[in-house]
Amino acid sequence: MKSTVPVVITAVIGIVMILDFFLPVQSVNNMASLLQSWGIVISAFAMGLGAVNLLRRHTGIIAKGEKSMLYSLLLVGSMILTIIVGLFFGTGSKLYDFLFTNILSAASSTLYASIAFYILSAAYRAFVAKNLDGWILLLTGVVIMLGTAPIGAVISKFFPAASQWIQDIPNTAGMRAIMMGAALGVVSSAVKTFLGYDKSYLGQGE
Amino acid sequence: MMRSLQSIPRSWLYVILIVLLAWPLIKPIGIKLDISDETRRCYEAIESLEPGSVVVFGFDYSAGNKAEMEPQALAVLRHLLRRNVKVIGLAFVEQGPILGEQAFQKTGWTEKQYGVDYINLGYRAGGQGTVAAFANDIPGTFNTDISGKPSTSFPIMEGIKTAADIDLIVTIAPGTPGPEDYVRQVFSSYQTPLVCGVPAVAITQVAPYVQAKQIKGILGGSPAAAQYELLIEQPGDAVAAMDAQSLAHLLIVAVIILRNIGYLAEKKASNNTANPSGRGTHS
């Protein structure tokens, strides 16, 4: 009973959503819209739950005085500050905008930009062609890199043309195969879930 | 010499990269930029909109990828402003609304009438499921704007019920929810034309949908943003960054070549040491 009821609920909801996609029946469409609204509400709650969990975890670290407590202090402090500013001054306020632009945005962009250094370092250390596969990967990488930057066309028109060909033909073909495989996998997983063979989402093994 | 090519200190590489990135930003080189077919398709999709058309603009990026995604958003918004269409901004990523507000300000949309010419409907949680809900019921899913006022109280929302009432959807999205979710949940049911902006690394993932004509065009990374800026004749940050990106790519290619020359030379040397006569081991 404990596992049957959730499986039945899951199967019914899943079937309603599938029917909604294929059938222009008003009652089914209304039911699906209602379920979608519930989904949005549950997602919003999940975000709140995530924030509470994060706060609990890091206040625990601070209380125990663990090694990484400085980072936890910083996280909890930033979180409380942002919540206070958002609640009392509004997310459209200048203060909130200041925090977003000058702290979050600047820090995030810096982290994103540091990828360039990792890529350079990784390319130097790992991009060594030791066999035929390595050479194919290396040459493809070089063509794509030169083809996607304006300098490639300045060196030779071959680079943008070859880069486009690689992206349009072999890459897209491979990507299509992956997407179709994944879609079939999703269908099979959905059938298993609806029939109650897969109960992993209930915290149980198959 | 060849051995040293195998072990260039990491710090040297980093310093060279910083110099190559900073130099063209301070003193632009002006490397010629060609317009790709993909960027031109996006431009034409927006150019073909009639004045007064309704466009949904998904600010589905966050501060972390703002550097790569925002130039695309700004260039497209500037073009939309010129086309005299109505823009409904929304987000399925939590930082989207504030980035949308900034983008509207930077592109001059705020000089137009809020609620009549453009609106920011804020963020809704839930990922792909919420994209589906949006397609089926726009005012129901986004029932308030960013300031909390009922969305249906604004003239721009008159007659807008489902995705079928939208002339074009633009989403600037580096991840999920993104173009694939719009194709599955919006295009497959309503055939609403879709244009998207993605990071350069995600082009491959979205390209099959363009070939299948489910997406009208994709903007890939900063180069596409720069090309778009040139197409609308308003060069901005993306055009300025292209010289720096070109030199960085060139540096990466150069270090790969140097490393492989070093590796091949060392391999040859170790083969010679193992077999100094140069003859085979079999008699």
Region B45-52 average pLDDT: 94
pLDDT reading at B16 higher than 90 = yes
Q: What pLDDT is stored for residue A206 in this prediction?
A: 47
Of the two residues B119 and A47, the one the predictor is more confident about is B119
Task: Name every chain A residue with its beta carbon within 8 A of the beta carbon of B8.
Answer: 124
User: Closest-CA residue in chain B for A105?
Assistant: B63
pLDDT reading at B273 higher than 60 = yes
Task: Name every chain A residue with its beta carbon within 8 A of the beta carbon of B213.
Answer: none
Q: Give me the residue from B67, B243, B246 closest to A109, CB to CB.
A: B67
Q: What pLDDT is stored for residue B283 in this prediction?
A: 36
Q: pTM of the entire structure? A: 0.86
Express each pLDDT in B220-259 by its tens digit: 999 999 999 999 999 888 898 899 999 999 999 999 998 8
Task: Name every chain A residue with its beta carbon within 8 A of the beta carbon of B95.
Answer: 100, 104
Contacts of B19 (CB under 8 A, 6+ apart): none
Q: What pLDDT is stored for residue B278 in this prediction?
A: 54
Q: What pLDDT is stored for residue B279 in this prediction?
A: 54
* Residue A76, in any domain of the structure: no
Q: Give me the residue from B14, B33, B260 closest to A150, CB to CB.
A: B33
**If pLDDT is split at 50, 70 and 90, which confidence band does B30 have?**
confident
Shortest distance between the Cα of B53 and any Cα of chain A, in A, equals 26
**Which of A29, A42, A112, A187 is the best mutation test for B, with the most CBs of B within 10 A?**
A112
Contact flag A160-B250 (C-beta cutoff 8 Å): no
Q: Which residue range(s) make up the domain with A15?
A: 6-66
Contact flag B17-A36 (C-beta cutoff 8 Å): no
* Residue A141, in any domain of the structure: yes
CA A141 vs CA B36, B146, B236, B257, B271: distances in Å: 19, 43, 28, 12, 28
- With a pLDDT cut of 70, the percent of chain B lying above it is 96
A101 touches chain B (CB under 8 A): yes
Express each pLDDT in A139-159 by its tens digit: 999 999 899 888 999 999 999
Contact flag B133-A121 (C-beta cutoff 8 Å): no
* Residue A109, in any domain of the structure: no
Tokens (6 digits) for A204: 């149980």
- pLDDT below 50 — which residues of chain A? 206
- ipTM of the complex as predicted: 0.81
Express each pLDDT in B189-218 by its tens digit: 899 999 999 998 888 889 899 989 999 999
Q: Is the preceding peptide bond at B177 cis, omega within 30 degrees of 0? A: yes
User: Closest-CA residue in chain B for A166?
Assistant: B204
**Which of B20, B246, B258, B268 is the best mutation test for A, with the most CBs of A within 10 A?**
B246
* Residue A39, in any domain of the structure: yes
Express each pLDDT in B74-86 by its tens digit: 999 999 999 999 9
A91 touches chain B (CB under 8 A): yes
Q: Number of CB pairs < 8 Å for A and B?
A: 168
Residues A155 and A157: their CA atoms lie apart, in Å, by: 7
* Residue A137, in any domain of the structure: yes
Contacts of A10 (CB under 8 A, 6+ apart): A193, A194, A201
A5 touches chain B (CB under 8 A): no
pLDDT reading at B131 higher than 80 = yes
Count of domains in chain A?
2
pLDDT reading at B158 higher than 90 = yes
